[in-house]
Amino acid sequence: MDFESKVSDLAKGIKSSIIRELLKYASEPGFISFGGGVPDPETFPRKELAEIAREVVEKEYRFALQYGTTEGDPLLKAQYIKYLERWEGLKDLKEKNLLITVGSQQALDLIGRTFLDSESIIAISQPAYLGAVSAFKMRNPRFLTIPLSDDGMETEILEKKLRSLTAAELKKFKFVYTVPNFHNPAGVTLTLERRKHLLELAERYDFFVVEDDPYGALRFEGEHIPSVFKLGGMDRVVLLNTFSKVLSPGLRIGLVIAHESVISKLVKVKQGVDLCSPSLTQRIAARYMERYDMLERLRKTLAIYREKKDVMMKAFEEHLSDLDAHWTRPKGGLFSWVVLPEGFDTLEMLELGKEYKILWIPGAAFHVDGSGQNTMRVSFCLPSKEEIEEGVRRIRKVVEAYKSSKVISR
Ligand SMILES: Cc1ncc(COP(=O)(O)O)c(C=O)c1O
């Protein structure tokens, strides 16, 4: 059977993720990887989760081993509503304002299916989170790309681009997708002023904001900035959260927090996708939240991330500052973003990276238009401090080797 001839146009258009391809090398001996944006498995509270998992299966099997509702476990929702009140100061949230998804990746997919047609227009940052772009691309919308600065998405440029749309195009403009805290891949945070500006634009041009916030709780420096959702309310903002970076990505639990009219639409779409999110992991997470303070327990991990970030910043100063390169200095999250001088191609450089046993994610992967050749995403959360120092030293060696192979005169 020639299955190839039966494949849909949609599936034909999907390229395999470069990140997945690259991470295969990361486990080879001697390799240092700045590639993966995943938490350190040693930070997972495995003893506590194991104990709870056993109890949940034994005592709550009627719920936990059964199909659940598409909306999600009411117990988990109740716990999460308390958490959002404490952490984000969000009041008056009800069960009907929450949908539990299979990671926030599913939430992105459901949002694409629910709101986008091939004529639709949305705005995303450049660079942007690859998973969101892949999810939205399934619906084939037109992307407006908005550059990022150290203050997050440049809402002034968003305003200019919106102003240049015709009335007919504005009608098709659905939402702005933003990762406001410790952006993946760029590591930058949207300032309070820009959050407010974004909401002003949302009012003026009548669109909504998809606020994807997996990293907000991972702040290791500076003051918490109110979420766009807190500032703009559920009439303008759909907030996405996840347990992936604060507890464990293996649970595959994400949440949509939104107006009930949005939630009920997403629920209908989700029914056709997977009926419901896993009852078992939802109940484990609910019991975990009941017993433990998730954020309190994260403190130790955050102190480690901050130290590692400092080591990386110092190593960049030492090894890259004479290069006319620059990089972001994150106050939380897992990533920094390095911009090398024009002429460098971080994808091409990966061949040398493999030789020197150092890995990063080429920045072009995060650009919908394929630009950003001279950029790279580097994560500091998994390698040890020694590996971070050595890894940056290796990046410098790769830069030198690439320069001589390309005769980049800088
Ligand atoms: C910005 C952003 N959104 C969504 C996700 C997906 O997370 P989840 O594990 O909840 O599906 C990630 C994962 O890295 C992310 O960085």
Nearest ligand 1 atom, CA 249: 9
CATH architecture group of domain 3-44+296-406: Alpha-Beta Complex (3.90)
Cα 176 off chain centre by: 15
Q: Is 249 in the pocket of ligand 1 (CB under 6 A)?
A: yes
Q: Helix, strand or coil for residue 296?
A: helix
Q: Encoding tokens for residue 240?
A: 């996405």
Q: Report the C-alpha gap between 315 and 66 in whole angstroms.
A: 51
Q: Report the C-alpha gap between 17 and 250 in whole angstroms.
A: 20
Residue 162 pLDDT > 90: yes
Nearest ligand 1 atom, CA 108: 4
The CATH fold assigned to 46-294 is Aspartate Aminotransferase; domain 2 (3.40.640)
| This prediction's pTM | 0.95
Q: Is 105 in the pocket of ligand 1 (CB under 6 A)?
A: yes
163 CA to centre of ligand 1 in angstroms: 31
Q: Are 108 and 132 in contact (CB under 8 A)?
A: yes
Q: Is 244 in the pocket of ligand 1 (CB under 6 A)?
A: yes
Which of 19, 212, 256 is the best mutation target for the ligand 1 pocket, counting ligand atoms within 8 Å of the beta carbon and taking the most?
A: 212
pLDDT tens-digit map of 89-112: 999 999 999 999 999 999 999 999
Residue 388 pLDDT > 90: yes
Q: Are 189 and 332 in contact (CB under 8 A)?
A: yes
Residue 47 pLDDT > 90: yes
Instruction: Tell me how long the chain is.
Output: 410
18 CA to centre of ligand 1 in angstroms: 16
The confidence score (pLDDT) of residue 370 equals 84
Q: Tell me the pLDDT band of 189, cut-offs 50, 70 and 90.
A: very high
Nearest ligand 1 atom, CA 129: 1
Hey, where are the domains in the chain?
A: 3-44+296-406, 46-294
Nearest ligand 1 atom, CA 253: 10
Mean pLDDT of 10-36: 80
Mean pLDDT of 156-181: 98
Task: Convert 234-255 to b/e letters by CB count within 10 Å (16 or more is b).
Answer: bebbbbbbbbbbbbbbebbbbb
253 CA to centre of ligand 1 in angstroms: 10
The confidence score (pLDDT) of residue 29 equals 87
Q: Is 107 in the pocket of ligand 1 (CB under 6 A)?
A: no
3-state secondary structure 317-366: HHHHHHHCCEECCCCECCEEEEECCCCCCCCCCHHHHHHCCEECEEHHHH
Q: Tell me the pLDDT band of 134, cut-offs 50, 70 and 90.
A: very high
Q: Is 254 in the pocket of ligand 1 (CB under 6 A)?
A: yes
Query: How is 184-239 classified by DSSP, letter by letter?
Result: TTT-----HHHHHHHHHHHHHHT-EEEEE-SSGGGB-SS-----HHHHH-TTTEEE
Amino acid at site 98: L
Pairing of strands 173-178, 121-126: parallel
Q: Is 363 in the pocket of ligand 1 (CB under 6 A)?
A: no
Residue 10 pLDDT > 90: no
